[in-house]
Amino acid sequence: MKTVKARQGFTLIELLVVIAIIAVLVGLLVPAVQKVREAANRMSCSNNVKQLGLGMHNYHDTNNRLPYATAKNPCCWGTWLVPVFPFIEQDNLAKQYLSWGDDTGTRYSDAPNTTNVTTKRIKTLTCPSDSPQAPFGGITSHNYAVNFGNTAYTQGTYQGQTFQGAPFLHATKQAPVKITDITDGSSNTLLVGEVIQGMGTDLRGFSWWGDASQFTTVWQPNTSLPDRIYTASYCNSAAFPANPPCAATASGWGTQFSSRSRHSQGVNAGLADGSVRFFSNSVSLAAWRAYGSSQGGEVIQE
């Protein structure tokens, strides 16, 4: 009588079925993992914004005013990062930064500032949803900027909007801003918001430099309209869509960067009352501009 041997292994068809099942499971699992990871990244980013808001409030408590966005010369001798450092547990960086506000001294791009400060990657200033960049000489870009109001970097009238005050200004623009100067209400006024780190030679997020230390609310978050800077070489539009739209200024256009993020559908932003909100890309333009002003007297309807 013949003995039937036990079959060893799988047939080809069985193997293909198993592979197909595994592929389907991986296809279902990967988006779920990515969704969970992005939710964690967004929460971490929100915590960063919260820390910056608290740091600015602690600075205000110590100095009876908010920090200036930039030094007297808005280009290259320091931005709000340096005076806020001691209030976000980065006191050593603040102590090592030379010539803040002295437009005849050491620039952010000169040694020893580059050696000791501006080439450092600071976790509180970096959103994990973005890719860390260092466009020039290893000097780091960041993901947070301060609110410069509802017009442009130079304020005034811009694209039909009249400047209605902002919590952060150049040191030469007007008297220091106090929380009590925010007559629109601290819960209705933005302090800090997200920006992207431009890839390649794109200088968005390059916040050691005055122009990139701010955002405006001329357009909604993550707008498809281009950011504007005075020379196209500071935009890297060739990297689109990794880099959002950007263009050189033209007649009637000044420097202005919108709040942007690598999150889906919106940006994290901190308000002057210390709270943090996620603002959707679909927030009404009127409401977003009202959040950008500090003394506009608008009634916000989202």
Please check whether residue 141 is in contact with residue 206, taking contact to mean a CB–CB distance below 8 angstroms.
yes
Question: What is the reported pLDDT for 10?
Answer: 62
Give 301 or 124, the one with higher predicted confidence.
Answer: 124
The full DSSP string for 23-78 is HHHHHHHHHHHHHHHHHHHHHHHHHHHHHHHHHHHHHHHHHSSPPPSB-SSTTTS-
**Given this model, what pLDDT does residue 267 score?**
98
Lowest mean pLDDT among 30-44, 65-79, 177-191, 233-247: 30-44
What is the total residue count of the chain? 302
Threshold 0.85, pTM exceeds: yes
Residues 6+ apart with CB under 8 A from 53: 191, 192, 270, 271, 274, 275, 276
Token code pair at residue 112? 């020893």
pLDDT for res 160:
80
Q: Which residue has the higher pLDDT, 211 or 103?
A: 211
Range with lowest mean pLDDT among 52-66, 79-93, 221-235: 221-235
- Interacting residues of 145 by C-beta distance below 8 A, sequence separation 6+: 192, 193, 194, 195, 205, 207, 212, 213, 214, 215, 257, 259
Q: 66 with 186: CB under 8 angstroms?
A: no
pLDDT (tens digit per residue) in 106-119: 999 999 999 999 99
**Cα 287 to Cα 125: distance, rounded to the nearest angstrom:** 26
For residue 294, give the 3-state DSSP assignment. Answer: coil
pLDDT of residue 14: 67
Judged by DSSP in three states, 139 sits in: strand
Q: Are the CB atoms for 245 and 227 separated by under 8 Å?
A: yes
CA dihedral 86, 146, 283, 223 (to 10 degrees): -130
Quick one: how far is CA 131 from the chain centroid? 12
**Tokens 């623009």 sit at which residue?**
173
